[in-house]
Structure 1
Amino acid sequence: MGDGGTVIGHWLHRLVAPPVLFTGIALLFLAVIWGTTLNLVAREHASAERTAAALAADVANTYEAQVVRALREIDTTLKMIRYNLGDAPAQEVLDELRHQELLPPELLFTASVTDARGDVIASTHPASEANQNYFPLARKEDDMVVGQTQRSEGGAERQLSFGRRIESAAGQVEGIVVVSVDAGYFVSGYDSGVLGDQGVLGLVGTDGVFRIRRTGDEVSTGGIIDYDSLVASNDIDNAPATVRHNTWDGIRRYTIARKLYDFPLAIVVGLSEAERLAPVARKERTYFWRAGTASALLIAVMALLGRLSWQLHKARARVLEERVAHAREVEYLAYHDNLTGLPNRALFSRLLSQGMQYARRYEKRMALLFLDLDRFKVINDSLGHDAGDELLQEMGRRLCEATRESDVVARLGGDEFVIILPEIIEGTQVAPVAEKVLAAVGRPFMLAGQEFRVTVSIGIALFPEDGEDEQTLTKNADIAMYHAKEEGKNNFQFYSEKLNTDSLERLTLESSMRRALVNQEFRLFYQSKQDMITGRITGMEALLRWQHPDLGLIPPMQFIPLAEENSLIVPIGRWVLHTACRQNVAWQKEGFPALSMAVNLSMRQFLDEHLIKDIKDALQETGMAPELLELEITESMIMHDMQRTIGILHELKKMGVRIAIDDFGTGYSSLSKLKEFPLDTIKIDSSFIGDIARCAEDRSLTEAIIELGKSLSLIVVAEGVESEEQVDYLRAHSCDQFQGFYINKPMPAAEFAAAVRKQRRGEANSGSSPGQPDSH
């Protein structure tokens, strides 16, 4: 007994606890509120449906009576005309009946008579023509027939024609009596307040084709319906309307369709369910709003009363959730790149190790693709870091789209990405994936409101043949990627042992290059530019060489691309500029004429923010006249970012420095763009000069470049001239200057000075003809 009392007391205590008590009271009141509301809504809705159905039936009764009355008048007119025809001419009969005012008003109706072929022989309207679409039926039927609705000649009215056949005493068909009326006449008298914007009135033939239909203010003809199905559902007289889905426009209406038993027509009346129930829907919303407001107040009171009891629980739950969310965020940031959302180097390392363990255990193969964007630093420096970040984000999205869900795409940092391809069977399966990645990256990018195209170089290493541990496999894929860049970029290369050897040589060369400036290992060679007519030296071009202590003289094509990649080209270019200016001034002090000194600028030098200052410092420190310094840039450099390029070139021109475009003809710049740049010289690329004697296309391009230079008042210089035949051709086409092995090759400063002195002595003694090759 005591135990039973304890249990009962425990449950009573639970029931009177504030959360349970207030919840129970709230649920009881909510049940009363919503039960009453739903019952009231149901009653209102049912009443509105009955009213709408009854109203549709009333409209149908009225409309049926109007249509039947109009059709009977038309049929009476047809019979009267046919009866009065006899032997009298048809036109006289129509005129007489019209005179007697026995015909319907001509403003709306047109009465006409046709012969047995269907041609109109009499009409109350001179321009009337027979509506032939019902003629075959009228010849067969004794009752009145109704034609299809047709546009009148002007296209403004929809004509609906009714007819009865005319028979001779022998029973032969002699013609048709026709009464035509604007089809809109049958739907013109309607109460818009009753029908609404979606209510429908219409006449439909027994063939299922609407003769006329009005929906709101829109009147239309044609349209086919299932006549038997529509009319059969309304066979009972005065039956209330039923809600039907009207197939001709997809609207649900209270629809009634009735066959007009004396005529081959049926009426269709429909009231939109949405419009008829709109008032009750508004009332229902009011009921629900009131019930919702009462419920909200009730719930608010319950929440207020239970707030204290739940406050501590919620606080504890919130702290726990924050700790879990923070732990998840820390874990995500630890293993994902915060810019692209891709796995970072740490997660990539874990996934690669797991993939290699799986492949090793089940004797599978896998591939690692190492990707590096080509010329990303140029874009980053030109457009800013925001544009660079946007490019990297889009790069991540495209790489994910180009790979399978089972593949892993990660960002190691900067513009370096990697892709893990697990479970491959043959190495040949990797090439299509790499090609798909190249195509995906190669699509245009929109950055800073401009369209750019970016390429990527891909190195591929296979497991286990190219490395059995994470570090070796990644290193070999990286080596293959650098080989792809050396092969012209925008391609992919597989790793091989030879690449490893080349990579070591590359690292050795890069390491040596960093010491070359300090150890004064760089040299400048000079190649003269000479006047095409006089043969006199007009200037020289400074060309960089590297005198390596172990490898000897290294040509520029072997180390300049490497200097571009590691940014050493900027300090090297600064040294070239100072050295060339200093040498030019030294030669002038020796009595040489004022010869121009041409210095090449790389893309990275040209975009360096200290370029203008470096040039000013070189001129001031050496004392060289600015007009003797000629800076050579390529077409691709000036077309990269035109607005920035124009600004830099104008700054240089203010200093008095001359500007030349090197290798002209290979960058596809147009005349309209070229004339916007403040240039002094264009240099025809040697690729056009080498085969100029035999290739008509090279001759045409060379002549076009010369003509372009002349039209822009620029000095035209031909590069790579190696034969007298080339010189004669260029001179004949008014080229200004030339340089190449025909006169001399690039040579150290001492040899170049000796060549200049020799030419000057020859000119003084008149012992050599201008333009002839020097012994060097």
Structure 2
Amino acid sequence: MIPLPPPPVAHKPWMSRAATPLFIFPVIAVIALAMIWGATYKLIGIERAAAEHAVAVSGRELAETYEAQVVRALREIDQTLKLVKYAYERGRRFEVLQELKASALLPPELLFGISIADRDGNIVAGTRPPAQHNVASEDYFRVPRGVDTVFIGQPPRLVDDAKGKLQFSRRLSAPDGSFAGVVIISVDIAYFVSGYDAAKLGAHGMLGIVGTDGVFRARRSGDKVNAGDTVGKATIVSDADDEPAEARLVTNPWDGVQRYTSARQLFEFPLAVIVGLSADEQLAPARAAVRLHALQAGTASVVLLVVIFALWRMSRQLARARKRAAEEQVAHAARVEYLAYHDGLTALPNRTLFSKLLGQSISQARRYRRQLAVIFLDLDGFKAVNDTLGHEGGDALLKQVAVRLRECLRDSDTVARLGGDEFVALLPELTQDKYAAIVAQKILAAIARPFMLDGQEVRVSASIGISVYPEDGTDEQALGKNADTAMYKAKQEGKNNFQFYSETLNASSAERLSLEKALRHGLERGEFELHYQAKRDVQSGTITGVEALLRWRPDGGDIVEPGRFLPFAEETGLIVPIGRWVLMTACRQNAAWHALGLPRLTLSVNLSARQFNDPELLGHIGAALAESGMEAGLLELEITEALLIGNVERALKILDGLKDIGVRIAIDDFGAGYASLSLLKRFPLNTIKIDRSFIRDLTSGREDKAITRAIIAMGRTLSLTVVAQGVETKEQADYLRENACDEFQGYYLNVPMAPADIAELLRAQGKLPHRHDLHGGIELAAI
């Protein structure tokens, strides 16, 4: 029997309808709209959360800054109270204020009013006329009768811009220990909120000080100052007594404004500082961005619906167009995926893809008992390229570096860019550590070759750190961290080298100990010596001063260049005793030249960061001047911009101390840092020295010319002496002379010399005639 063929499969009507454009396109529209709005809401949520977090963290940082300001002011007030109390109880009685004022031991009267009340509350002495003659009924008189701590009185209730005082008091005791009265300091309430910065806090921000009793001692919002109103601290920030992670969003009860509020308890005083940022002001940009995203999503939705409707009507005629659109969508998805895992600038894998590849390689290495290496690379001098050629030049350099890195690796190896000028390479299936060292050496050689950027030859180097699996780590985080650590060790070793994380770092530690020992012995054995490089007046060519330069000759052998030992000396702190020796030796030498009848010279000595922050710096400078007999006005101390902007207030205090001694102050390598003109105006400077990087390309670089002219003009505006360092050619000297630079120094004039050679140079200067060069300046006839 021949079997019958199976009956044809009947297609269900709903399946047929689902395959038609009438059904497909609405479904596509719904899905696409869901994707658009889902992505939009997610993006809005991310941006809102990021903005809220940024504002909250900013509020905490402002609270920390405000806390430090308030604590400083309160400590000064409490110290003054203790001083008056001590002097009073030592028998000075009511004359104590006049005596302390005459000795300049009291704070300025403009800010603080100080008075003494006897045991009956009568004001018997004061630095200002008293606002009331008896304070017996005031809390700041009554409470201190039984306690010997600083007491902060409740202020009068102030509304908006009303004036008021905040009273601080301490108990005064009679010789028999009984209550003798109180000392009172009166301070304007507005003083404690004078740090209100509208640029950061906005028009509806808030600064305030509230007592543990819940009474505001001072509060400011915008230009309005208030005080005396009561509010529970728990309604502001519930955990104000703890260290807050960040500010919290609360509605402040006194004005109904919603603010990100941060409160910090002052452990030394019964007060808490409160800082608030208006949510409406701080989140306005984020809310505008949310509206923009919603508008964009709506526009995209409308466009999508129009397109879907058009496709629905022309589905049969545009079958090929639909296919092409699908292919384009696939290509776009592939492009998006590619961009998600690759660096857009260099086309190398990015951090995400490298992390995945490293995780896979670790799993395979663990399974097959293999080794692998991670190489972490950072470019040396990349910032200088960015500063000189701009970000376009820096991007071009990174692209060329990526090409050279790929050429140094096998096809099975991976190189990725992590960001900035940081690259990382993965060497899987590593048979021995030697291969990692070979690759690192190839990379150093490749990077060391000059790059051509915008027609200019640029040279950079690289610092490389290497970690090996499994010796230096068994997971991605450990290997990456250890390679990064080794890279920083390479930078400490002078850059342009590579370091392994393990044994090589241990050996390096031994070398560091050996170098430290050699430096200590070098100072003890007199192995250090000073050379001097002359500075000359640009117009006359006359030697106006010298700069002392340190040299090290271990065991009487060859000179070790400063770059090989000074960074280590700075790191270990040996720079402080070495710097003292330099200062003393240089001052003695300058005095010796003057004793020989040679012209008076300005002596420049460089100060490192550790020397500048040495608490005994002023004492050692004074001792060097006194012992050598050199005039203080002939000593010029050179510091970098970084020392000034690191801690402005501390730097200003130190510079004022140096100025009081009478020494000159110069900014070295000016232009290479970030000091602003407004900041420089605050410091008592005498000289700025133009960084040699601008002088080097002065005759060929248009930007360097413009920068140099601007620095010279700025120096003249600020009445500063402008010195160009690193002058190596006649063309550079002529340009500086034409643009009215004051002084210059460099190998074009003379190399650093021994003291005897400087003396001969000064004698020759007095004997030689002068001549005019082709540009109208004056040079020595022979040097």
TM-score category, normalised to shorter length: 0.3 to 0.5
- Answer with 1 or 2: which has the greater Rg: 1
TM-score, length of structure 2 as denominator length: 0.39
Q: TM-score, normalised by structure 1?
A: 0.39
